[in-house]
Amino acid sequence: MCWFSRNPLRKPVAHGFPLAQAPVLANNPGMTGPRYPSLIASLPETVPFVGPEVQERARGAAFDARLGANENMFGPSPKAVDALQRAAGEIWKYGDSSSFDLRHALADHIGCAPDNLIVGEGIDGLLGYLVRLLVEQGDAVVTSDGAYPTFNYHVAGFGGQLHKVPYCDDREDLPALLAKAAEVDAKLVYFANPDNPMGSWVNGAEIEAALDQIPAGCLLILDEAYIEFAPEGVAPKIACDDPRVIRFRTFSKAYGMAGARVGYGIGHPALITAFDKIRNHFGMNRAAQVGALAALKDQTGLQDVLAQVAKSKAEITRISEENGLEPLPSASNFVTIDCGADGDFARAVLANLVADGVFVRMPFVAPQDRCIRVSAGRPEDMAAFARALPKALAKARDTG
């Protein structure tokens, strides 16, 4: 039994009430409990994503195919797994707070200096640190309407004001984003290339040409989580110490280590050093650092994964077209599929797939919400998708 229910003098605060009400209750005379800042009290009780495990518990069964989180189901390099297993015996030690070995190996791999690199708890964690570092309440931040919601979550949590620009032809519109940034005096502009959730991309030369349009005092966040899957020429040639840009990459996607939470940022040394003011210095798991280092060294294994992802994406394309749907071109490890109707129809298709044991996701904002998004997977995952999709479509059409 919880202490709240045993103590007759105390009423629950934030226990059975919406979080937004909790500060009001806690600040009443004679009551105890946490006093939430007004900003936190104003935030909705939402999270960016509901994980597949949460959905599995709700449905009372595991998914047959886990095709919604853009994980690399082909797994990490066996050399990374071996390194992780060997590191387990020293898990009693804290991780290297500077990620020295991994940063230096990344510097050699990328062709920059270690001082240009910050390692953190995935891109999600690094985005949170960056927003904390630069955004005060009321500061303007620009992103695309329907782009990666975890970034928006961080901005809202620190009181930033989001300004959103619509996609253009299913691609993030970098010129429009930068124009909006100039209009609202934005501190940050978020741009993903390749993009999630659409899988679209722009050539690196377009980004290079737009750099001079970044307003003074504004930082371009270039999220390159899927860059290893992209065609030649998608990665722009930007100096690692360009103070106008920070680039984020990850070991979660192509390297197959989403559960290890290892991401890194590439930027000007002054910005990278500033992270030390606010980051969790011992946030990086020791074994994860060792595993990521081994994965980075196994570029042959990476190429094997890229080939398997390309084969799976071709199968997703075939299954989609066989069912009369339009798969969109993709430079990522997933394929976004136009369901040929509106968002309500796509949501019905998604719900039917989930109910039938196939976990997928979809874009949140119209007109991109006419689509579902399916991650590359193993042959058995593709077989489950091929089995479930015709039924999901037929049921959506019957109830539409």
- For residue range 30-46, what is the model confidence (pLDDT) as tens digits? 668 899 999 999 998 87
- Within a domain: 68: yes
Average pLDDT of span 349-371: 97
Answer whether residue 11 shows pLDDT above 50: no
DSSP class of residue 373 equals: E
- Within a domain: 42: no
Residues near 359 by Cβ (< 8 Å), separated by ≥ 6? 52, 55, 63, 65, 66, 67, 68, 69, 353
pLDDT at 183: 98
Do 255 and 114 sit in the same domain of this protein? yes
Of 265, 297, 329, the domain-final residue: 297
Do 126 and 197 sit in the same domain of this protein? yes
The Cα 170–Cα 138 span in angstroms is 29
Question: What is the domain count for the chain?
Answer: 2
Confidence of residue 16 (pLDDT cuts 50, 70, 90): very low
Give the 3-state secondary structure of residue 361: strand
The boundaries of the domain holding residue 62 are 52-73+300-399
Span of 49-58, 63-72, 168-177 with lowest mean pLDDT: 49-58
pLDDT at 8: 31
pLDDT at 1: 30
pLDDT at 15: 28
Give the 3-state secondary structure of residue 61: coil
- Within a domain: 46: no
pTM above 0.85, yes or no: yes
pLDDT digits (tens, 9 = 90+) for 253-297: 999 999 999 999 999 999 999 999 999 999 999 999 999 999 999
Could you tell me if 305 and 72 are in contact, meaning their C-beta atoms sit under 8 angstroms apart? yes
Do 112 and 252 sit in the same domain of this protein? yes
Kindly report whether the peptide bond that precedes residue 37 is cis, defined as omega within 30 degrees of 0: no
The Cα 68–Cα 92 span in angstroms is 34
**Torsion angles phi and psi, residue 336, rounded to 5:** -90, 130
Of 257, 274, 297, the domain-final residue: 297
Do 57 and 101 sit in the same domain of this protein? no
The Cα 167–Cα 368 span in angstroms is 8
Do 95 and 206 sit in the same domain of this protein? yes
Buried/exposed 236-257: b ≥16 CB within 10 Å, e otherwise: bebebbbebbbbbbbbbbbbbb
Residues near 38 by Cβ (< 8 Å), separated by ≥ 6? 23
Residues near 238 by Cβ (< 8 Å), separated by ≥ 6? 207, 208, 211, 222, 245, 247
Report the number of secondary-structure helices (H) and strands (E) in the chain.
15, 12
Of 297, 318, 345, the domain-final residue: 297
Could you tell me if 298 and 308 are in contact, meaning their C-beta atoms sit under 8 angstroms apart? no
Do 82 and 214 sit in the same domain of this protein? yes
Average pLDDT of span 98-117: 98
Torsional sign, CA 105, 111, 114, 119: negative
Do 314 and 240 sit in the same domain of this protein? no
The Cα 370–Cα 223 span in angstroms is 24
Tell me how crowded residue 141 is: count the other CB atoms within 10 A of its CB.
27
Do 265 and 141 sit in the same domain of this protein? yes
